[in-house]
DNA sequence: TGTCTTCCGTGAACGCCGTTAACCGTAAAT
DNA sequence: ATTTACGGTTAACGGCGTTCACGGAAGACA
């Protein structure tokens, strides 16, 4: 772990600049293309091939960094809530996640609505490396540690699901899950599905825009989920917390 | 309403061929491009501009027709269920919807994961014209007619939502909704959100592939929804029906 | 029937795009 | 001091959406 040489530092800075330029393009609504990124950096397109092997690899790189940045945004907002209130932090994080998706729909689309199935292993690994995934799972685990909620046992689930949960392909440090409580992952996964579903629907706009803007879809999704996470008696407090963060 | 002239018939046939060629490309995993579509039809790209004003308009046309075709596929499968069992037909339709999305992920993406917000009015109108939307809403209305389920009153909902439900921007013939029961739409919309969310998540693959394949996500979504549609006592029958259609 | 017009196709061209190849100065490594 | 690796260049290929000028053929109409 020696100090990075000058060349290495320069290279890292170039990567950072690539990501910066790419995100600027996305934010401005322009097309993300190698030529546009290169142009914004003051060099020509072929030069970028010294850093990424293809356009798809650029997309993957940018997607990973965007996910990291979005997670940091959630973490910063969550710090306004005491660390001993992981449920509050989760609610705030979910609200920030939604706001981010609405403010930066192209960034959100790049990360979460790019097919992960058909492409190569790189994107596959992204599935288990997702920073946001680890972040959400950590909060959920903290919640469970503080106030365990019920979850199905592996043998109550469909065999294929039980099998998948034994060596799961999701962004979580599996040793953090207490032994005999793998069924908890099923709750986590379904919660993620609910969050992902609502936000994706809203971003793609397959719904009356006034309803999207109101946030009612999101609120009602959360209202359904709080009891399942053992938060029935805190529902009122958490819904108020959500309301105060929906605009942001 | 006179008979269509020869020219008109020819033009319609050309449109149909455009859609046919486009869908072939999508199914084969090739890129959907004006040149590729034209080439498959035995003509050059500029010729297509006699039929569509731009690439985006081609996409919209194809998306609309794909939605129609997917709906027909659902309707055909639903015919195996008696007409006096709209709940059964809904379950079968939802299962077929999911199968279609998995078998033709590119078609599904084109229709349901293309941003509708930022583009022009054409796509906006698609929102209320969606064939599949009308189909689902018809089934839900039939279910309610046969066996009414509870729904919130307008004044129990958030004002913005209540406002939106008075003149909704969704694919439904509003006069079919009984007076004083507009709140029903809120149930419909949330049900659609749940279906859309799960299927989109599965198609984009942001989840362990073994869990996607098992269909457990979909089953559990349905299990949560049956009671809300007043089908608690038919849950067992309908879940069995779902299981028998999940593979298809 | 003959003329006029509308429709539907063409080829050429423009400016984008991703990608490859050959080339070269400079900074690091030896 | 020499070699090597790195990071950039220009030129070019094929493909994309799109526009334009052109022409033939089919329908409309006298």
Average pLDDT over residues B102-109: 97
> Which pLDDT value is given to residue A225?
97
> Which pLDDT value is given to residue B3?
72
Residues 105-124, chain B, touching A (beta carbon < 8 A): 105, 109, 112-118
In whole angstroms, give the CA distance from residue A98 to residue A112. Answer: 12
**Residue whose entry in the numeric block shows the structure tokens 């919309």:** B189
CB-nearest partner of B113 from A113, A164, A189: A113
Q: Is the pLDDT of residue B119 over 60?
A: no
Q: Is the pLDDT of residue A161 over 70?
A: yes
Take residue A99 and report the two structure tokens written for it.
Answer: 């706001």
In whole angstroms, give the CA distance from residue B160 to residue A21. Answer: 38
Mean per-residue pLDDT over chain B, rounded:
93
> Which pLDDT value is given to residue A123?
55
How are the residues of chain B apportioned to helix, strand and coil, as percentages rounded to the nearest 5?
A: 75, 0, 25
Reported as a single tens digit per residue, the pLDDT across A63-77 is: 999 999 999 999 999
Reported as a single tens digit per residue, the pLDDT across A201-244 is: 999 988 899 999 999 999 999 999 999 999 999 999 999 999 99
Average pLDDT over residues B178-196: 96
Q: Is the pLDDT of residue B125 over 70?
A: no
Q: Is the pLDDT of residue B18 over 80?
A: yes
A10-43 burial code (b ≥16 CB/10 A, e <16): eeeebeeebbebbbebbeeeeebebebbbebbee
With CA of A49 and C1' of each nucleotide, the nearest comes out as: C19
Take residue B70 and report the two structure tokens written for it.
Answer: 């997917």
Q: Please state the pTM of the whole predicted model.
A: 0.95
Q: Verify if strand C has an atom below 7 Å from the CB of A5.
A: yes
Of the given ranges (A50-64, A75-89, A103-117), which has the lowest mean pLDDT? A103-117
User: What's the pLDDT band for B195 if we cut at 50, 70, 90?
Assistant: very high
Residues 189-208, chain A, touching B (beta carbon < 8 A): 189-190, 192-194, 196-198, 200-201, 203-208
Question: In terms of C-beta density within 10 A (0-12 exposed, 13-18 middle, 19 or more buried), how is residue B198 classed?
Answer: buried
Average pLDDT over residues A142-153: 97
User: What's the pLDDT band for B248 if we cut at 50, 70, 90?
Assistant: low
- B160·A198 Cβ contact <8 A: no
In whole angstroms, give the CA distance from residue A20 to residue A41. Answer: 10
Instruction: State the helix-helix crossing angle for A131-146 and A86-103, rounded to 10 degrees.
Output: 160
> Which pLDDT value is given to residue A115?
73
Take residue B21 and report the two structure tokens written for it.
Answer: 């060629």
Q: Verify if strand C has an atom below 7 Å from the CB of A2.
A: no
In whole angstroms, give the CA distance from residue B5 to residue A136. Answer: 62
> Which pLDDT value is given to residue A76?
98
> Which pLDDT value is given to residue A46?
98
Reported as a single tens digit per residue, the pLDDT across B142-179 is: 999 999 999 999 999 999 999 999 999 999 999 999 99
């Amino acid at each position: 772990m020696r100090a990075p040489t000058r060349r290495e530092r320069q290279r890292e800075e170039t990567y950072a600049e690539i990501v910066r330029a790419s995100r600027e393009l996305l934010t401005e609504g322009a097309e993300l293309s190698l030529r546009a990124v290169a142009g914004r950096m003051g060099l020509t397109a072929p030069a970028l091939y010294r850093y990424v092997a293809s356009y798809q690899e650029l997309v993957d790189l940018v997607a990973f960094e965007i996910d990291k940045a979005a997670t940091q945004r959630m973490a910063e907002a969550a710090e306004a809530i005491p660390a001993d209130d992981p449920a509050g932090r989760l609610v705030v994080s979910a609200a920030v996640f939604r706001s981010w998706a609405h403010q930066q729909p192209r960034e959100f689309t790049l990360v979460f609505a790019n097919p992960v199935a058909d492409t190569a292993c790189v994107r596959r690994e992204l599935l288990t490396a997702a920073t946001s995934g680890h972040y959400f799972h950590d909060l959920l685990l903290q919640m469970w540690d503080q106030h365990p909620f019920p979850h199905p046992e592996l043998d109550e689930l469909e065999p294929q699901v039980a099998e998948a949960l034994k060596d799961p392909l999701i962004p979580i440090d599996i040793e953090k899950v207490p032994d005999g409580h793998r069924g908890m992952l099923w709750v986590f996964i379904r919660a993620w599905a609910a969050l992902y579903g609502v936000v994706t629907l809203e971003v793609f706009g397959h719904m009356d825009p006034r309803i999207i803007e109101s946030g009612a879809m999101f609120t009602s999704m959360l209202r359904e989920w709080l009891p399942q996470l053992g938060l029935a008696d805190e529902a009122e407090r958490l819904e108020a917390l959500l309301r105060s963060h929906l605009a942001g």
